[in-house]
Amino acid sequence: MTTVLTIAGSDPTGGAGLQADLKAIEAMGLHGCSVVTCVTSQDTRGVHSVFPVPVEEIEAQLKAVLGDVRLGAVKTGMLYSGEIVRAVSKALRGEPVPIIVDPVMAATTGGSLSTEGLVDELRRSLLPIATLVTPNRHEAEMLSGIEIGDDRAAVKAARAIMKSGARSVLVKGGHLGDEEAVDYLVLKGRSVRISSPRDDRVVHGTGCALSSFIAARLAIGDGLEDAVRTSKEMTFKSIRGSRRVGRGVLCANPMAAAVSEARKPEMLAQIDAAAEALESLLDRRLIPEVGSNIGYCVDGALEASDVVALTGRIVRVGDRAQAVGCARFGASKHIARIVLAAHAHDGRVRCAMNVKYSTTAVSACRAARLSVASFDRAREPKGASSMTWGVTEAIRRHGGVPDVIFDRGGPGKEPMIRILGRDPRHVIKKLKAMSAKLKRG
């Protein structure tokens, strides 16, 4: 069993700290070991007190794990004081595994998780043995002495941190306020810009999850850049799947991606069942020339491979609808773009299907009290993905994800209606309501 050690503080709410670390490691299918540095009294609203574990006991924990367990990687989180940093650095020096340093200084809720002397000791003893350091903007500023306001400053700060001996630095740009959440991975001689969609919700434990995911990916043999990219995607899914644990901020859910993977067989079955139902429910007048399809994405989906759809389409055969192909993830980039664009704006929306456009059908949607929005293909920017841009534009103009998005087509493009919902049953329910009004009309 590949094993990852986290050296961090305890969060009694389970939203951050070593509890979040262990969830992230477990989500990757690895075994997590832990050394407790501090016991905190904190909740989702703030940090109330910090009790540092006596250094002798931290050293004893480290000796127990390092003397018995063959590790694949080590991740450090909240170390709190210079004294603890020295003890951890001494124990890890010479360990032949990747060491990921998350230089925790404050909680998402605003409470301090460090004492004077921490930064200097990090620079002096821990950064020189670090494979990767993962500071957020504030932490990078503290470690580098450089104020960060843009990407150039972020890279400059990372290079300054590397002068302490760290082999690479990942400056997390989620706090920079860009349209995307952009991180900057800086290695010797080059830097890499890594982005993901931005989710502006305040979520506790994202930094812990990210560094733990990276440690786990390195432990199973990924290269550094691949490990960071995969871990950033996993962290985004953890944010999308975040939970309301207490009365304050949301808590990241590192297990979200693993749960999504476990639900994939069920999702495949749901799309196959939806296709069978649509063969009898779908009015021939609603089948486009290019056929219909239905797509359903996992929580936190980012790519077409996260969306299950039919390998073929639902087509018109005589006077009836017939499903062609079977359910498969990554089967349709077209329907995936619709689902992903909607899901990026509202995590509850995970399913969409397309039907034939007509003014009568749009009127039937409105008569069924479905919210309706549209976009104009003539205004599509050059080089943009039609569906991603169109769905996003319709949502922007509507002020949220509607039940229905349509367009009137363009040169070589068939006009189309898209029905959006939480899951296949929800979409089919809206289709039934629309079809009932269409038949009466």
Neighbours of 319 (CB within 10 A): 6
pLDDT of residue 177: 55
- Parse the chain into domains and list their residue ranges: 3-254, 263-440
- Cα gap 201→183, rounded to integer Å: 18
pLDDT of residue 201: 82
pLDDT of residue 134: 98
pLDDT bin (cut points 50, 70, 90) of residue 283 is: confident
pLDDT digits (tens, 9 = 90+) for 54-84: 999 999 999 999 999 999 999 999 999 999 9
Report the sign of the C-alpha dihedral through residues 88, 16, 19, 13, in that order. positive
pLDDT of residue 302: 81
Fold exhibited by the domain 263-440: L-fuculose-1-phosphate Aldolase (3.40.225)
pLDDT of residue 108: 78
What is the CA 173 to chain-centroid distance, rounded? 15
Residue 51: closest CA among 34, 39, 36: 39
Q: Enter the pTM of the model.
A: 0.78
User: For residue 306, what is the DSSP state?
Assistant: G
Is residue 98 pLDDT above 60, yes or no?
yes
pLDDT of residue 258: 84
Residue 333: closest CA among 358, 310, 363, 357: 310
Matching residue, tokens 């200084």: 105
Q: Are the beta carbons of 417 and 432 closer than 8 angstroms?
A: no
Superfamily of domain 3-254: Ribokinase (3.40.1190.20)
- Cα gap 29→35, rounded to integer Å: 20
How is residue 381 written in tokens?
A: 């920017």
What is the CA 435 to chain-centroid distance, rounded? 36
Query: Which 3 state secondary structure label does DSSP give 171?
Result: strand
Burial (Cβ within 10 Å: 0-12, 13-18, ≥19) of residue 372: middle
Q: Are the beta carbons of 157 and 148 closer than 8 angstroms?
A: yes
How is residue 22 written in tokens?
A: 């262990």
Average pLDDT, the chain: 93
Q: Are the beta carbons of 284 and 303 closer than 8 angstroms?
A: no
pLDDT bin (cut points 50, 70, 90) of residue 167 is: very high
How is residue 408 written in tokens?
A: 């009137």
